[in-house]
Structures are given as structure tokens and as C-alpha cells.
Amino acid sequence: MHENMTADTCMRRGTGKGEDSNRPVLKRRGRRRTFICLLLCTAACAGSLWMSGCSRPAEKDSVPVSGKEQDAEGQAEDTPKAVNFNRELDDYQPLKKEYNFYLTYKVIHPWWDAVAIGIEDAAKQYEEEGVVINYEYLAPKEASAQDQVQRLADAAERGFDVIGVDVADVDVVTPVINGLLENGQKVMTFSSSDAAKEDGCNRIAYVGNTHNYEDGASLTEELCRKLGYHGKIAILIGTRGAPCHEDRAQGARDVIAGYPDMEIVEMAYDEDKVEKSYQYAKAFLADHEDLDGFVCCNMSNPVGTARAVIEAGREGEVVIVGMDHDQEALRYLRDGIIYALGVQDCYSIGFDTVQVAVKIADGCAPGEIYPEKTEEITTIVYQEGAAAMLQTLYGVID
């Protein structure tokens, strides 16, 4: 059905037949723009003054590695952009006053809680506009593709406007998604793991990280550079079959393979759990006294690894690179235990997921109104940018 919807029926805010009724919205948008312009001017003036004599020496805080907002200029200025909490709804005017979404993800984990915050804020902004977004955002305690399949089947029977899924296992879940689509359900993927067209999946759209492989590769590249392209490496992957984890690990493997003096001595699936990753890291450090670094492919394993390195008394000696924004991991980054972290903009993932779902529910097909893949950025953060990141994400500096 959704393919039959045209751009005429899916209008942007302030256009088409809803123009008159949406005038107040336009005015508010106008005022907001004016305010932002003024703010920017003020910031520019302040910045000019600062640049003219008050700026600090340039430091290496963070590097956006991928995503649509990627911007290599001014690393210090980019730091807050790693996660954009000041998101506002786009101009699209929903056709209905109430939507019901079912969103399921791989496993209950703080990373998806960050996504949930973006979902909540988007729903709240819609509510302020008079549009109610009802949603279920559920996951199993242990990652399980079978569980996800069951959840999708149950959701299909309950008649949601859109079903969103963070794919636990592409091979297992793709047929189910396609089946739902054939039965008239509107299904999208989101957050970290997509099942794309090339995987044979017909899902309508995807919102989230589209560059897991690059993330893994970039972090590993930084590790190699730090080690002078010489040393033994262990890779902690995460959940077996989870596309994001596997892609990052693959990216890591590929980079290391490119340097002859670099060697992968250990690889393990820690199931995205701190305790397991700690145990693995501890064992690897014991088994390989000459181990030089770790590539951590999920949010939990940088924490577990850092704990093990500290316990082994090899902080500063063993280089750790990893993913995501765990507060403890950021503290380790700040304290120099971890060398670099790839921080994804989870908030925007959640925020955009809701926006895209609304459009899908209204029957809009990907294209002009929204892309088939909405990419969210990952930013590599170093020790210098850790405090700012801590402040941005958790309101904590030290």
C-alpha cells in the first residue's frame, strides 16, 4: 500500500491544503529561525572576538568518522555535534492525529535507552503539535533472533501503524519482515542493524548507523597508528550475528590485515556484556603478556576491557579503542585508559526513527520526503574531548 502513496498526499509542513491551518506553526517556525539567526550572529561575533585573541591552541578532541553531519573542520566545535540534543521536528505535516508504533530491538541495554530518549523527545514534540505518538519499545533480556521473530509476529496481529525492528540476525529476521510486508504491514528497520535490500529484505526504510564497518575500521586505524603499526591485537566483537558488531569486527580485521606487523591474537564474542568482556580481556592479557591493544566493537566491552587493563596494571601500555558512549568508558577515556571511542548519535537515531515512522504510516514512500536510509553519525572521541563529551551526554565533567 505504501508504495501507492505519492508525494502529493505526503506534504511538507506549510504546503498544500493544510497551509491555512498550519499558519501558526509557520509563524513559530519563522520566529524560531529569526532567533537562531540572531543567536548565530551573536555567536559569530563572539567567536570572531575569541578567535582574534582568546582562542586556545588547537587540540585533538574528536573526529567525526562517518555520517551525514560529518565535518572535519574545527574539532573542538564538532565535539557537541557528536550527539545533537537540540533536534526539532522537520516541516512534515502528519496526516493523522494519532499513531501507533511497535519498535523492537536486539537486547535490553543502555545503548538503546539512549535511543529511547530520542524517541521520547520526538513523541513529545509531536504531542506539542497535537499529534499523539503511541509506541511500544521492547526487547528481550538476552539477544535472540527467535524472540525477535516472535515479537514481530505478535505485533503484526495487533495492528500497529508501523513496526520497527533493530535486526538481531539478518538471516533469521529478513524473511519475517518480508512476510509482514506482504501481509500489508509497514515495516522499517532502525538503530544499529539494518536488513537491507542487498540482504533481500524489503523493509521500507532504515534509520541509524549505516557505517558500522567504517566505524570498526576507523577505530582500528587509530589504534594501529597509535601503536606505530606494530603489535598484537585482541578483538572483542559482541553478539554473534548482530550486523553492527560483526561489521565493525570485520572492519577491524580488514585494517589489521593491511599492516604486516600487526597481528590479531584473540577474538571473542562477549554478548555485549561488561562482565564477559572483562573476563575475556583479563584472560587475553594473562595469555599474551605482549598484547598491545584491544578493538572493542560494542558499548560494553570497552568498559570490561579497561577494568581488566587497570587490574593488570597495564594502563597506558595497552591501547584500547572501542565503541559508544558508556559513561564509565568516557571516564576511562578522560583518564587515558582508553585511547579512542566511537560515539554514535543515539539520540538522533531515536528522534529520526519516529519522524520516518510517521511518514511511513502516512503512506509516504522513501524519496523526497525522507531517504530510504537515514544515516546517523559516529564521532571518534579522544582523551582531550572526553570531558566535553561527558558534559554533553551526562552533565558531568570530572
Interface ranges with other proteins (CB under 8 A): 85, 108-110, 112-114, 116-117, 119-120, 123, 127, 132-139, 141, 325, 327, 346-347, 390-398
C-alpha to C-alpha distance for 147 and 126, rounded to whole angstroms: 31
Name the residue nearer to other proteins (CB basis): 178 or 391: 391
- Percent helix, strand, coil in the chain (nearest 5)? 50, 20, 35
If you write DSSP's letter for every residue of 88-130 in order, what string do you get? ---SB--SSSEEEEEEE-SS--HHHHHHHHHHHHHHHHHHHTT
Other beta carbons within 10 Å of 331:
19
Name the residue nearer to other proteins (CB basis): 5 or 117: 117
User: How far from 245 is each of 114, 133, 141, 147, CA to CA, in Å?
Assistant: 18, 31, 18, 19
C-alpha to C-alpha distance for 165 and 178, rounded to whole angstroms: 12
If you write DSSP's letter for every residue of 301-329 in order, what string do you get? HHHHHHHHHHHHT-BTTBEEEEES--HHH
Name the residue nearer to other proteins (CB basis): 269 or 347: 347
For the purposes of burial, counting CB atoms within 10 Å of the CB of 118, is it exposed (0-12), middle (13-18) or buried (19 or more)? buried
The answer to whether residues 135 and 103 touch, using CB atoms and an 8 Å cutoff, is yes
Q: Which of 248, 170, 155 is nearest to 206 (CA)?
A: 170
Name the residue nearer to other proteins (CB basis): 88 or 127: 127
- Cell, residue 132: 499523539
Q: Which residues contact 155 (CB under 8 A, 6 or more apart)?
A: 102, 104, 136, 163
How would you list the strands of the sheet with 262-268, edge to edge?
62-66, 378-381, 340-344, 319-323, 291-296, 231-236, 262-268
Name the residue nearer to other proteins (CB basis): 266 or 352: 352
**Least distance between other proteins and beta carbon 392 (Å):** 7
**Least distance between other proteins and beta carbon 396 (Å):** 5
C-alpha to C-alpha distance for 174 and 203, rounded to whole angstroms: 9
- What is the phi-psi region of residue 363: left when phi exceeds 0, alpha when psi lies from -120 to 50, beta otherwise? left
